[in-house]
């Protein structure tokens, strides 16, 4: 969903699908201080994302209808924790450089089989904590998250990967969130995270996978380009009706970026413009 460089349940091994992880990762802790997160890590991961997106226009928009500062924080924290728990269950979450209270960097991923495994099922959403998000919100914030953001992201992703012939039929890894605290600056955590995902999942031999993300900060576009992502299109949540509209209060822009199989430059392939209609 969003990316920035500046969520207690118990499950069995079949529920968290650890058998599908690389052999080196099944213990949870990996090289380069990378850890595959479990449910017990979700509060720390949520704190990390809260700090990382403190000044983010999308994050501000989602809580703009809540007047109380503490309620805004509680709502955001619950939303991040729900995202993390949902993807620990049916996707993959990574943490880099763990401390007592947080990680330096957290990445939330969905995998090609995540939806098939129940990522968006009602039971998964409730077990992940989206009911708490609903209860903490007001009508406006609920509408922005459940009737605005989530459908927008789902429908956009589906439209692009099922209609654009350059991506149709390929496996899709979606970077839902990646956020870093100030302590991560200059440590190359983003590269460590991407290298781990490319080497262990996305770029495995005899696979044809693409990597998809929505960045809520245009300044991150050059950063992602270094990892083989190319800009696809912008999408807007909210009302950007005139020059008086304020980003973070009235609307938020997200930049869709896609890395093709093995980093192939898909922008040089034939473009069927009808795919974007």
Tens digit of each residue's pLDDT, the chain (277 residues): 555 544 222 222 233 343 344 433 433 555 569 999 999 999 999 999 999 999 999 999 999 999 999 999 999 999 999 999 999 999 999 999 999 999 999 999 999 999 999 999 999 999 999 999 999 999 999 999 999 999 999 999 999 999 999 999 999 999 999 999 999 989 999 999 999 999 999 999 999 999 999 999 999 999 999 999 999 999 999 998 888 899 999 999 999 999 999 999 999 997 654 444 4
Beta strands in 8-74 (DSSP E): 34-36
Tell me the two tokens of residue 167. Answer: 């991506």
For helices 42-52 and 69-90, angle between their N-to-C axes, nearest 10 degrees: 130
For the chain, domain boundaries: 2-7+27-276
Q: Calculate the alpha carbon distances from 4 to 125, 177, 234 in Å.
A: 24, 8, 17
Q: Residue holding tokens 């500062």?
A: 69
d(CA 75, CA 64): 11
What residues contact 9, with CB distance under 8 A and at least 6 apart?
Answer: 39, 85, 127
d(CA 257, CA 157): 11
Q: Residue holding tokens 């109380």?
A: 68
Q: In CATH, what is the architecture of 2-7+27-276?
A: 3-Layer(aba) Sandwich (3.40)
């Amino acid at each position: 969903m969003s990316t920035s460089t500046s969520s207690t349940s118990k499950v069995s091994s079949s529920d968290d699908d650890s058998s599908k992880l690389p052999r080196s990762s099944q213990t949870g802790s990996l090289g380069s201080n990378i850890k595959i997160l479990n449910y017990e890590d979700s509060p720390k991961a949520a704190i990390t994302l809260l700090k990382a997106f403190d000044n983010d226009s999308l994050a501000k928009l989602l809580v703009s209808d809540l007047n109380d500062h503490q309620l805004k924080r509680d709502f955001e924290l619950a939303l991040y924790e729900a995202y993390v728990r949902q993807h620990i269950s049916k996707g993959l979450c990574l943490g880099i450089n763990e401390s007592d209270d947080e990680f330096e960097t957290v990445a939330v991923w969905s995998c090609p089989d995540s939806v098939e495994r129940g990522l968006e099922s009602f039971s998964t959403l409730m077990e992940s904590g989206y009911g708490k998000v609903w209860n903490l919100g007001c009508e406006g914030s609920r509408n922005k998250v459940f009737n605005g953001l989530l459908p927008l992201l789902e429908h956009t992703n589906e439209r692009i990967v099922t209609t654009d012939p350059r991506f149709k039929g390929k496996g899709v890894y979606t970077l839902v969130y990646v956020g870093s605290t100030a302590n991560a600056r200059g440590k190359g955590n983003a590269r460590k995270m991407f290298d781990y995902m490319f080497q262990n999942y996305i770029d495995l031999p005899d696979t044809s996978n693409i990597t998809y993300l929505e960045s809520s900060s245009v300044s991150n576009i050059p950063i992602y380009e270094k990892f083989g992502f190319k800009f696809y299109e912008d999408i807007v949540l909210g009302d950007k009706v005139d020059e008086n509209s304020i980003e973070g209060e009235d609307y938020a822009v997200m930049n869709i970026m896609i890395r093709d199989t093995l980093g192939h430059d898909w922008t040089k392939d034939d473009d069927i413009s009808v795919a974007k209609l």
